[in-house]
Structure formats: structure tokens, C-alpha cells
């Protein structure tokens, strides 16, 4: 019987380590692809909160009920 360099039983352990290795490689590839797509496609139209235009802020305030329709229209006219 030939046991190999590490003796008997390392075939199973080596197989387990090889399986874990390939699982980690696949997880890493999926993570990199998700990270790359995250920046390109999911947020391409989204603006940063601090770069909102004045009209966007005005619309948000109106939607939250902080200002009424009359005040919204006046401020909107001023901004345009």
C-alpha cells in the first residue's frame, strides 16, 4: 500500500481543503463582481445628499408637510 508523503488519511483532508479553497475563490469573485456593479449600475442616477438642488429640497419639504401649497408655489417661482 502506498500512503503518499503525508501518510494515510490526507487524501480526505486534502480534498476538504481543496473544496474550501474553491468556495473561497468563488465567494471572492462574486464579491468583486457585486462591488463593481454596485458603483456602476445601482447608484448611477442617485445624487449625494449634500448635492441636492434647491428645488429638490423644496419638494421634500412640501412632501413632508413642512410648507403648504401656496408657500411651495411662491418659493418654486423664486427658484425658477
Report pLDDT digits (tens) over 59-78: 999 999 999 999 999 999 99
Q: With a cut of 50, which residues of the chain have pLDDT below it?
A: 1, 41
pLDDT of residue 9: 56
Alpha-carbon span 1 to 55, nearest angstrom:
81
pLDDT of residue 13: 74
pLDDT of residue 79: 85
Which residues neighbour 61 within 8 Å (Cβ) at sequence distance 6 or greater? 67, 72
pLDDT of residue 56: 87
Alpha-carbon span 21 to 9, nearest angstrom:
19
pLDDT of residue 34: 82
Amino acid at each position: 500500500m502506498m500512503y503518499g508523503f503525508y501518510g494515510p488519511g490526507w487524501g480526505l483532508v486534502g480534498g476538504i481543503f481543496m473544496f474550501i479553497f474553491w468556495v473561497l475563490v468563488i465567494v471572492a469573485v462574486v464579491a468583486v463582481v457585486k462591488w463593481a456593479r454596485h458603483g456602476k449600475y445601482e447608484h448611477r442616477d442617485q445624487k449625494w445628499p449634500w448635492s441636492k438642488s434647491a428645488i429638490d429640497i423644496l419638494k421634500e419639504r412640501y412632501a413632508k408637510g413642512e410648507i403648504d401649497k401656496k408657500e411651495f408655489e411662491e418659493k418654486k417661482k423664486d427658484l425658477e
